[in-house]
Amino acid sequence: MSLEQRLKDRSAKIGIVGLGYVGLPLAVEYAKKGFTVVGIDVDGRKVSKINFGENYIQDVNDDDLKNVVKEGKLSATTTYDLVPEMDAIYICVPTPFNVNKDPDISYIVNSAQGIATGLRKGQVIILKSTTYPGTTEQDVQPILEKTGLKVGTDFHLAFSPERIDPGRQDFTTANTPIVVGGVTPGCTKAASMVIKQAINIVHEVSSPRVAEMEKLLENIFRSVNIALVNELARMCDRMGGVDIWEVVEAAATKPFGFMPFFPGPGIGGHCILVDPYYLSWKAREYDFHTSFIELAAKTNEDMPFYVAGLVRKSLSNTGVSFKDAKILMLGVSFKKDIDDMRNSPAVKVMELLSQRGAKGIQYNDPYVPEFKLFGEVQQSVELTAELLREQDVVVITTNHSDYDPKFIVENSTAVVDTRNVCKGINAPDKIIKLGAGEPF
């Protein structure tokens, strides 16, 4: 039976390598559409959780996961033994950088080697991990072709980047358009056919390189624009009398040609901070220096240092020594209403304050009950009026919807607000807001 037919009658089996923020929602989406899905992950804890129907990703609905596991539509394994049974296989593994900010594609390479152990004719392999242009054809294709099978004739290979925005309700896996580029036109067609089973709109491009590059453009666009507004926030602090948040809000009334970006304590997550470096690394191979990427990275990576400076300044008004000060951080995940801590700028601010001798740092985060800072477990404290009153400074680093600004300001002595949570509250003696005039 042809792939088209197997997709049509739902007898096609889908494999998902890497069951994290990207892979698990995708696996559940296919399973909900009636496909049999097998997830492969090297993390045995994730695998057994899935097989018990237990969810661990906020964007996945608990009942959806439970139901598809119960119906036998989704299962997980730590091995690549079932690869020959699959019709299409997605690769959704991490693409971090190393300490020198050079790309680490070892997870992709390991996954491709795992798939190669069971690759067979007719399969469609789709790489989703964000990476530099050329990875699909230069790094993945040779591993798969070492089996003796040929891309475009024996199996299909394509790159199709992920766009999931964790925590977002309006655009989710199924209704966010997806780009795909195959090694050959036949590869694009086959991959597109597979993707369309779970995603409503698919945009085809001429090659994997275009698809790889378009994903980087999306993230670099964000990084550069966030950096621009971070720089303007610091300039507004220097100038005094101009609130950057009010400026952005006003500019956003223009119905065309402007898109609002907001300042903050820095950028985090697995994407915007990491991905631009993948391109600047690749560009060096061509003696090309990506100035925008570097400048944006520098500007954004300076922000936690700047915020730590604001905390120090706020304390200098109180007479309490920095070392003995009680500092409460509000929000440690990298963005609002999610539990993702990867490269969180709030954690960086905590590290900086701690490295500079502050001993009384605590945090509250409704989404993060605990995490490790310098190897020591930190636990979220309950946000009460009494706790706030005990602090010398409260630092709002993540704008979780749970935070009530009035309650926070009323009960605190000093607040450093890096997210405009205290918008509209008139307490200039208490609040230092990033981008609204630096205190002397």
Catalytic residues: 271
CB 128 to ligand NAD: min, Å:
6
* Closest among 333, 365, 359, 337 to 347, alpha carbons compared: 333
40 touching ligand NAD, by CB under 6 A: yes
CB of 50 to ligand NAD, least distance (A): 10
Of the candidate residues 12, 21, 116, 280, the single one contacting ligand NAD (CB under 6 A): 21
The CB-of-107 to ligand NAD minimum distance in angstroms stands at: 4
Q: Strand, coil or helix: what is 124?
A: strand
Q: Residue written as tokens 């915020």? A: 307
CB of 17 to ligand NAD, least distance (A): 5
Residue number closest to ligand NAD, CB atom = 20
Sole binder of ligand NAD in the list 43, 324, 370, 404 (CB under 6 A): 43
What sign has the CA pseudo-torsion 178, 142, 36, 81? negative
| Footprint (CB under 6 A) of ligand NAD, residues 82-101 | 92-95
| Residue 18 binds ligand NAD, judged by CB under 6 A | yes
Instruction: Please identify, using beta-carbon distances, which residue of 89 and 361 lies nearer to ligand NAD.
Output: 89
Query: To which residue do tokens 């100038």 refer?
Result: 239
Q: Which residue has the tokens 């300001």?
A: 409
Site membership for ligand NAD, residue 208 (CB under 6 A): no
d(CA 310, CA 432): 8
- Work out whether the CA dihedral 200, 203, 204, 207 comes out positive or negative: negative
Q: What is the DSSP string of 182-212?
A: ESSHHHHHHHHHHHTTT-S-EEEES-HHHHH
CB 21 within 8 A of CB 46: no
- Binding part of the chain for ligand NAD, among 40-48, 198-206, 325-333, 398-406 by CB under 6 A, reads 40-48
Give the 3-state secondary structure of residue 312: helix
- Which of 129, 192, 391, 418 forms a contact with ligand NAD (CB under 6 A)? 129
How far lies 259's CA from each of 254, 319, 414, in Å?
9, 42, 32
- Is 417 an interacting residue with respect to ligand NAD (CB under 6 A)? no
Binding pattern to ligand NAD, positions 254-293, x when CB under 6 A?
----------------xx----------------------
C-alpha 187/C-alpha 284 separation (Å) is 30
Give 169 or 426: the residue with its C-beta nearer to ligand NAD. 169
Instruction: Determine phi and psi for 48, rounding to 5 degrees.
Output: -70, -35
Reduced to 3 states, what is the DSSP secondary structure of residue 93? Answer: coil
The single residue among 6, 10, 33, 42 that binds ligand NAD, judged by CB under 6 A, is 42
Q: How far is the CB of 19 from ligand NAD (least distance, A)?
A: 5
Q: Which of residues 139-178 bind ligand NAD (CB under 6 A)?
A: 162, 164, 166
Q: Which two tokens stand for residue 153?
A: 């004739």
Minimum distance from residue 211 beta carbon to ligand NAD (Å): 13
Residue 15 near ligand NAD by CB under 6 A: no
Q: Does 103 bind ligand NAD (CB under 6 A)?
A: no
Q: Is position 334 an interface residue for ligand NAD (rule: CB under 6 A)? A: no
CB distance 60 to 23 below 8 Å: no
Nearest to 135, CA basis, from 68, 195, 198, 181: 181
Shortest CB 235 distance to ligand NAD, Å: 31
Strand partners, 393: 327
Question: Are 117 and 198 within 8 A, CB to CB?
Answer: no
Q: Which of 7, 14, 16, 17 binds ligand NAD (CB under 6 A)?
A: 17
Which residues of the chain form contacts with ligand NAD (CB under 6 A)?
17-23, 40-43, 46, 92-95, 107, 110-111, 114, 128-130, 162, 164, 166, 270-271
